[in-house]
Structure 1
Amino acid sequence: MTAVIIEDEIPGAKRLEKLLIEKDFTVLVVLTSVVSALRWFEENNHPDLVFMDIKLRDGNCFRILDSIQIKSKIVFTTAYDEFALKAFNYNAIDYLLKPIDESKLDKMISKYDAFKTGFANASNWRFLEENIENKFKTSFLVSSGNHLKKIESDEVICFFSDANASFILTNQSRQFTINNSLDNLEQQLAPESFFRINRKFLVNKKYISALKNDTQMILQIPDAKEFNFVVSRLRIRTFLEWYKK
């Protein structure tokens, strides 16, 4: 199998190259910037796998993926986990945090083998789904008096912003301040469960009891009657596609 490494930290790139060679990969090239990567993929046949760091010296790797269609399977390698959701929007097959754990690299290779065989059985599908699912946040720590309280994501009715702050509303009708923006939360939460209906609200599908469609699309959430959940007009079509799944 062939691979290309896109990484601007030379020690990390050399370690990954060594690991891949030990696992019978042929590493075609190590690229250290967005510009050099764009040039290489325009001029060469694409490998089986691309190991791609997200933050490079001249920008992030999404500039590469937005500029050229890479035919390879993508594996993101990074020290930052906040890009997980965005990474999977680019059809990545895995997201490895640095320093790369060799056992996780082995699992990724097994997953790639499953891709090659077209996911011939249901267990391969479950393996992929479980791996992706683990990338999203499932709980949050918030301040409650003099204590820290853990809130599971399935207890959250919605996240909302007000007066330049962000809050959690739970199914116990309690509100807590959270030190995170809705933009970041949108990237960190499982997309099948949470949807950003407008600039102010990120809602949990579990608590939507009905939709009211008059001149606006309004969500009926019995446990949060004090809020007016109106879907932005620009997001209604996408919201309906998400809601019916």
Structure 2
Amino acid sequence: MKAVIVEDEKPAARRLQRMLEKLEVQVIATLNSVEEATNWFLQHEHPELIFLDIQLSDGLSFEIFENVEIDCCIIFTTAYDEYALQAFKLNSIDYLLKPIDDEELEAAIEKFKRTRHSSPATMDLKNLKNLLNLPTSDYRKRFSIQVGQHLKLINTDEISCFYSENKGTYLHTTDNRSYLIESSLDKLEPELDPEKFFRVSRKFIIRMNDIADIITYSNQRLEVRLRHYNDQQIIVSRERVKDFKEWLG
């Protein structure tokens, strides 16, 4: 049996690997962040079983599933409240509370062996997030971009702006590259953190940290100049100027 561990605490990951090896489970990878796990699952054949910590160094492990379709079984490893997790056990997702107990680990493995030959359990990750009441948001943290035969991951803090042009929607990065994305500004707007991004017009959504200058413009409008985008003039539409100023604080 092959398994992957996703755990950002190295001592905990090493301990879990030793425990699994005693149970004749082969650990083929140990991953310690959302980014590393996402990249690994995009590039490798998936194992039979994943041991998944919930809170990782760069975010919550649920973010992995925004970019990767996982079709294998998952056992969560977490230090969160046992009562909430016990309730969610009704949905056939197993879990192990830290520090992991040898007998509970063995029981989880045996449960996996019994269930893997039957129809797979439905893993409702949104329900799990709600049940655990985790301090997370639904705002996009990264985008997966098709570049030739490869997928490129771009974090939102690497984005200067989004813009529409010739019936397409693009994101522009802080290394001055534009990528076509399969979305529209209307769809993107509610997916972005409103503390970081603002839609200044029908054509542009900009990121606050990339603003270099703001200049008064004709007809009570404003011109925004970004540090890493200068292909087109960015004008804050008159009806958005008041909200834009409030957004700036």
**Which band: TM-score by shorter chain?**
0.3 to 0.5
Q: TM-score, normalised by structure 2?
A: 0.47
